[in-house]
Structure 1
Amino acid sequence: MSNNLFNAVDFSHFLLREALKSGDKALDATAGNGHDTKFLAELVGAEGRVFSFDIQKEAIANTKKLLQEAELEENVELIKDSHAELDQYLNEEISAAIFNLGYLPGGNKEIITKSKSTIRALKKAVVLLKKDGVVVLVIYSGHDGGDEEREAVLDYVTDLDYKKYNVLNYKFLNQPGPPPEVVAIKKRN
């Protein structure tokens, strides 16, 4: 990309691309319409594994369809459950995780990610990170409940031990409405 000021999604993908290689394991904590799950599956290749969570049947179906069309479903485990329960399905080290916070694009805007389950999931994902692994959160806060979740995430990541984790907050300051922002956590050791 020639523009070095990435939008939130492009920046999240840049970070994931830097953290993942063929054979790695990755987590999509919010499958949504499947775009990040597909991206992760492409990065980890046939030897890798992606664990993709969503509470909505529609999101799991959308993701499954996208993966089938791209012939990438073999290395992805789709899990219809809350990301807060990820430790019930995953106890292996991961190289990267992505969270898209908000609601399912094109879906019911009343069903949103919530700070309580997001923080539970985030705590578990951070523990699973291998050295130099990254957790990326794309935070969409322009909906009811969005600001509260954003604040909870920022409070949690601000308190992470700086000797163990580097935390970055990336956002545009002069965009209309609350623009999406990226929080990235990299495990140092």
Structure 2
Amino acid sequence: MLENALQYSHTLLKEVVHADDIVIDATMGNGHDTKFLAELVGLNGTVYSFDIQKLALMNTTELLNQNNLTDRVKLIQDSHANIDHYVTETITGAIFNLGYLPGGDKTEITHASSTLTAIESCLELLKSNGRVILVCYYGHPGGKDELAQVQQFTSNLDQHQYQVLEYQFTNQIHHPPILIAIEKR
């Protein structure tokens, strides 16, 4: 069975993220990707997890506490555009879920300007064979514009430095998410 965008994002990260790695969840949301990454990096790895909304930090903190994973995660209430203020180490991977916080305020959305800045920061920190994964939810006001700008940016990355994959279901209604995976050569 073909995996949906979220499932495939985890498959792609599992292939490259290992114990002791440093990774980024650029849009922590309710903490599911943060938890997933924390399990992958093990006791000595680090997950930097970003969100601007206090609700996201509260939900993620609760999920991490329930799973005894708080010791390997740094929760940061700030825009992902400011990744470079917090992360200086080489990273193995990063994940973005673009759109809005499920169960939160649907008017609080990610925007192309901050997202592109964050992607650039992640690519600068990314080690060879590392991956930046973008799961693009675009069925909300502003979502199609952000998706278009992200697609334009990623399609223009130098093919000698990066491989870019776009994964989507083309026969589904209701704007199924599109996954974009960037792998550094």
Q: TM-score range by the shorter chain?
A: over 0.9
Deviation string 1:43-89 (CA, Å, 9 cap, x unpaired) is 00001000000000000110011000000000000000000000000
Runs of 4+ residues deviating >2 angstroms:
none
Deviation, structure 1 residue 9: 0.6
Partner residue, 2:129: 132
Q: Deviations over 1:129-168 (max 9, x none)?
A: 0010000000000000000000010010011000000000
Equivalent in 168, 176, 180 of residue 165 of structure 2? 168
Question: In the alignment, what sits opposite 1:44?
Answer: 41
- Equivalent pairs counted in the alignment come to 185
| Match 1:87 to one of 68, 84, 88 | 84
**Using the alignment, how far apart are the partners of 2:100 and 2:124 within structure 1?**
25
Which residue in the other structure is 1:102 paired with? 99
Give the unaligned 5+ runs of structure 2: none
Aligned-pair Cα RMSD in Å? 0.4
For 1:67, the aligned partner's letter is L
Identity %: 52
TM-score by length of 1: 0.97
Counterpart selection for 1:63 from 27, 49, 60: 60
Question: 1:169 Cα shift?
Answer: 0.3
Unaligned 5+ residue runs, structure 1? none
1:120 corresponds, among 108, 113, 117, to 117
Instruction: Give the partner amino acid of 2:97.
Output: N
Give TM-score scaled by structure 2 length. 0.99
TM-superposed CA distance for 1:19, in Å, is 1.1
Letter in 1 for 2:5: A
Q: Distance in 2 between matches of 1:87 and 1:121?
A: 8
2:74 corresponds to 1:77? yes
Query: In the alignment, does 2:16 pair up with 1:13?
Result: no
- Residue type at the aligned position of 1:105: P
